Amino acid sequence: MDFDWTEEDRAYRARIREFLKKELPSDWDEISRHGPGSREQTEFSLQFCPKLAEAGLLVPHWPQEWGGGDRPTWEHFILGEELWAAGEPRGAQYMNVNWIGPTLMRFGTEEQKRRFIPEMVAGKAIWCQGFSEPNAGSDLASLRTRAERDGDDYVINGTKIWTSYAAMAEHCFLLARAGAGQGKAGIAIFIVPMSTPGIEVRSIPSLIGHGDIHETFFTDVRVPAAARLGEEGEAWSIINYSLANERVGIPRYELSTRVLNDMVSELKQRGDFSDPVVQARAGSAAAACEAARMLVYRTVDMKARGDIVGAEASMARVAVIEADHAVTDFGMEFLPDAFNGRSHPAFLAHHERAIVTGIAAGAAEIQLGLIARHWLDLPKGVH
């Protein structure tokens, strides 16, 4: 079995690195210090992504019909690895590329596609996702936000929490209960302009970046029925398609691997890497990164072959979480002073991102539950 990249893949990766070298400013480490959700990085993405689009590097894997290049799925992941390792200069727009755009292309009406996809292709669209709720957490089947039909409109009431990018988003990919269906069958998806009267966004102070997470309140928010994506009760199958893309859409293992290599280099410079315990811990962290990479690559290969990705995405997600934590735990134990001050911004940025890895895109506990049910065939409630 050959896991090596082709010459074409290597040339593509080199082209991306050259683009980043040219387009990222000298103060990029400062701009990206507080993550893709920060105001600084979001504003930068609105300058950077149009350049990426002009170079044909924003949505190369999308169909030509919708502004892409019909390029292989693997090129999308090479692109993702390089951009995430560089601090994700696409900001929140990585969500458009990875799952919101593909979901609209597959399930949206012609009107929705023509309204929203062109601005994503141009690199000028900021979206947020209205999934988690205060009393439901990541258990989407328990959400309570409700959309009541009123003539040609829906009226939405409820609260979302941990909403990334909400403060600067123009649209929300919102889940709400609609109609008489119960549990998963009662969920519908709405595309809601964040400028709609009745929406209030409050930032939640946290360790994981500036402006990353919010509470979002919906009070008598009125949207037309045409804002619904899919039919009432159809949302669960659409969400599963979206989340399968989102769970492996961020190649966090690439940043973890590069940060681990930098940590080892720092320890060698200090003369502290000869200790066999340190070497063994570094080896364990490196193995965790490679395990995550291989499990993510498995899902990429399934997508490239047109297979449906199920519990494989959850297993890859759990491996990515463990790799992120293994690297940051290694650094905190053997280079604790590097996490104070401003001498190693990449270590600090990785540490903040590792904190959220096990929460975003469905908490680690949710992923383990999905693996138990759909991979191990355990009955619900046993695990």
So which residues are the catalytic ones? 246
- Retrieve residue 152's tokens: 């040609």
Question: Tell me, what DSSP letter sits at residue 180?
Answer: S
What's at 328, amino acid-wise? Answer: T
Question: Tell me, what DSSP letter sits at residue 5?
Answer: P
Which of helix, strand or coil describes residue 158? strand
Which of helix, strand or coil describes residue 295? helix
CA-derived radius of gyration, the chain: 21
Q: What angle do CA 206, 124, 248 make, to 5 degrees?
A: 55
Asked if residue 219 lies in contact with residue 201, where contact means CB atoms within 8 angstroms, the answer is no
Asked if residue 232 lies in contact with residue 181, where contact means CB atoms within 8 angstroms, the answer is yes
The Cα-based distances of 115 to 112, 172, 242 in angstroms read 5, 14, 19
- Retrieve residue 173's tokens: 């990919």
Distance between CA atoms of 1 and 252, rounded to whole angstroms?
24
Distance between CA atoms of 80 and 61, rounded to whole angstroms?
11
In terms of phi and psi (left: phi > 0; alpha: psi -120 to 50; beta: otherwise), the region of 190 is beta
The count of other CB atoms within 10 Å of the CB of residue 238 is 20
Asked if residue 249 lies in contact with residue 80, where contact means CB atoms within 8 angstroms, the answer is yes
Distance between CA atoms of 321 and 299, rounded to whole angstroms?
16
The Cα-based distances of 319 to 83, 164, 252, 330 in angstroms read 20, 23, 10, 16
CA 180 to chain centre: 32
